[in-house]
Structure 1
């Protein structure tokens, strides 16, 4: 429907910018007075050639791919608008970046960008905002990136910023403007186009100042309509491009190697936080920026706390440790869980339950050939888990499938799958009741949890908590396990876990 955006916006909209006294910025040669390449507010091919190739905005993802994403979003918006009974020709799309958050005065938390904004721009800086307009006076959309204002003092302390004149040549976005002009731009746009369909996420505002300006705009408009673009962006994010798949494969490979190193250093009475430190270190040493989420490192009965993240106890002899961890690699996550005996040898009961979970997971991965829904995979897990637990005598013999599934759910009270991508629980607005398709990445993570308080199962099984989780890419030829390099067969687990025992 629309061309790939380059550096030329519709002439009518440029005229609008000029008419309302908003500066336009022309691209300048990105060099300083000494002839060196100018540093922006994030890595570039010139400043970080070990990370980025020419024309890449972020590692492996080119300026063209980001332009295509914005184009696809506008196409989705226009298709939805045309179907609406209240069709409007003027569309204003606003996607803010995240702001820095502080743990105390002047001490920031590690910054993580709003993934919707990052997906559409590749911009990794805080306090920026993407605006895309489609209006009746222009034949083409116009994209504007508002960046932080120039501030020599702030840049002395925090490093360089990307200035408005850098936006077009680096990001491939039509125009760059400073954030101080954002509110004035909105007021001017509202006066120029009174009938506006605003696309903005009022539910999860990322910047207070931007949110306040947008609320003021909405109160001034006579004919206004608001929609949340979040679900449309998630539908795009659900299907991974070849570059995204390569990044996710790398994230999985890093995580797999880190797990092997962590399992092999296990020994009785090791602290959970030591295992935490080991997996974090091994991921970072292989190129990951950080762990994608606070890991679960749960020894013994603590593995039956699904989201146990205290990680401050010792793992005693004959206990297992359940570790749920993954790294983030250039904006894309992995999510893997392994369970292993801390002394290198499963007890008979531990191995029995482990083999149940292992076999069920293998069957569920095979079922992905049929492209079921995630909810259907969950129902299959409950049935398969119940059947196998019945076979080993932990669930009483009953002819009813519903009984089997209910009994299994008592021992595995979480879903078996979620979408994976830039976020761990990726694209949360997408229902788990649609069939999986090629290009999607999902997790498969069955488990069995038998706490010390379980009075219905024999005592020798108490304290056993096991989960096995892998990342799975759906392709036209069937599922591909991205985390396949992370061993999980019980024999392989025992071999690695026993390598460095005292």
Structure 2
């Protein structure tokens, strides 16, 4: 359940779903879960601890998915009218991801295509959704294509969702086997004459669907096609109350897991052990898996921005830089913390850490003015440069341009990206637009001083990054990852107390 409190949305847990486990509660709430047969993903009947009434995925009801599809069609229709498209008939095809194999018959963990998941909530591979629109009454229809029946495959891999079960659960108009996709597309073309086709050929998530669409274009001679990707990303950029609740939970899980990993730290520990600890803690709290290969970098390896080998030992007075997040029912968190493995920052480490922390806090406050992400990056360079001048790492020069270039040498990455279903979310959206309420972004300044750097030698090998996930609201920025401590005293206390207990 979701409630409104101080202008923010909060999820009140799964108590409602748990109450539905009993026959009396089902009768009291008059819940209709439809067929009690198992589908190819969790349902309120099979997983009442996860899903409440009418929820397709935890916290997201089928009505929200229907609304998303309607909004997508409206965006595309408006765009087509403004650009004098040759037809008012549209066919939007969005594929599911396909199952990938690491070796013979051994699959990788399946992760759904985010755009497809956003529009349907459907978790099965090798499927497809087609949204069609004509000018006739009731011309807007959603057709969900499910995998063909295969009793042998279901014996090995579990149940699939079949066409007769999909409309009620997913809120679509109709459902067909995926083998019928070519016939469906050809039939729609014949009934609607000129059709604007929307398909993202740049995405390689499912080559079989892509080939079906190419064959359709070849057979029909249709040259009116474009990608729906940017339109879907425009919708995904603004998070609904349910999405905010899911992202808050994802951040809470990752934050607590990183704190537990800090407490687990001690001199001589392996980066791989810290990796395993944060992975375990996230999964134990309900996350499906980590949102990306984490950075667990000890000592001078923290100056390698995307270090993911995680196979060295961390000794003595070295720092640990951990960049980790998890996926919780389709939504990602992305947090970075840096801490001393022995529980005490050295003077030089403290100086660098304080610079990064002060800059990060100022940038978060600046979000209230709704700048663009590129503007935040420019501000980061200027703020970092000035503060590094104050401690003598950057030479004293009056030019802002000089200061920013010097800072960029020590922090050669952007300070922010959009966050949501993907870690680097909605990549088709420019970072040069002003942020608005409903968006979630990261704020992640850092300083990386390699052993080849020209700065004073006592700072060599120090790498610090502090990253938080920030919801933009009309009342100012809200740090979703606020439960992960970043003040020096708190961090030292957590690590020291952990070593005392071990």
1:185 alignment counterpart: 184
Superposition pairs of residues 93-492 of structure 1, within 5 angstroms: 93-454=92-453, 456-492=454-490
How many Å separate the matches in 2 of 1:343 and 1:197? 62
C-alpha contact 1:196 1:224 (8 A) present in aligned 2? no
How many Å separate the matches in 2 of 1:221 and 1:284? 49
Structure 2: gaps of 5 or more residues = 1-32
C-alpha contact 1:442 1:473 (8 A) present in aligned 2? yes
- RMSD after superposition: 1.3
Q: Measure how far apart 1:286 and its partner are.
A: 0.8
C-alpha contact 2:199 2:228 (8 A) present in aligned 1? yes
Name the SS for the 2:94 alignment partner: strand
Name the SS for the 2:77 alignment partner: helix
Q: Measure how far apart 1:232 and its partner are.
A: 0.3
2:11 alignment counterpart: none
**Equivalent residues, number:** 469
C-alpha contact 1:195 1:222 (8 A) present in aligned 2? no
Give CA deviations for 1:162-205 in whole Å, capped at 9, x if unaligned.
00001111000000100111112122223333311101001113
With 48-57 and 211-220 compared, the bigger mean Cα shift is at: 211-220
Q: Measure how far apart 1:224 and its partner are.
A: 3.0
C-alpha contact 1:164 1:177 (8 A) present in aligned 2? yes
C-alpha contact 2:435 2:472 (8 A) present in aligned 1? yes
How many Å separate the matches in 1 of 2:224 and 2:272? 51
Give CA deviations for 1:315-354 in whole Å, capped at 9, x if unaligned.
1111001000001101000000000000000000000000
How many Å separate the matches in 2 of 1:174 and 1:86? 26
1:59 alignment counterpart: 58
C-alpha contact 2:368 2:476 (8 A) present in aligned 1? yes
1:40 alignment counterpart: 39
- TM-score, with structure 1 as normaliser: 0.92
2:21 alignment counterpart: none
C-alpha contact 1:132 1:144 (8 A) present in aligned 2? yes
Give CA deviations for 1:46-105 in whole Å, capped at 9, x if unaligned.
000000001000000001000000000000011001011334121110000000000001
Give CA deviations for 1:114-142 in whole Å, capped at 9, x if unaligned.
00000000000101100011123444301
Name the SS for the 1:498 alignment partner: helix
Name the SS for the 2:356 alignment partner: helix
2:18 alignment counterpart: none
Name the SS for the 1:54 alignment partner: coil
1:501 equivalent to 2:476? Answer: no
Q: Measure how far apart 1:452 and its partner are.
A: 1.1
| Distance 1:223-1:138 versus aligned 2 partners, 3 A rule | farther
How many Å separate the matches in 2 of 1:84 and 1:92? 17
How many Å separate the matches in 2 of 1:419 and 1:215? 32
1:3 alignment counterpart: none
Q: Measure how far apart 1:458 and its partner are.
A: 1.2
How many Å separate the matches in 1 of 2:221 and 2:414? 46
Q: Measure how far apart 1:208 and its partner are.
A: 2.0
C-alpha contact 1:190 1:217 (8 A) present in aligned 2? no
Structure 1: gaps of 5 or more residues = 1-28, 32-36
Superposition pairs of residues 72-91 of structure 1, within 5 angstroms: 72-91=71-90
How many Å separate the matches in 2 of 1:448 and 1:232? 36
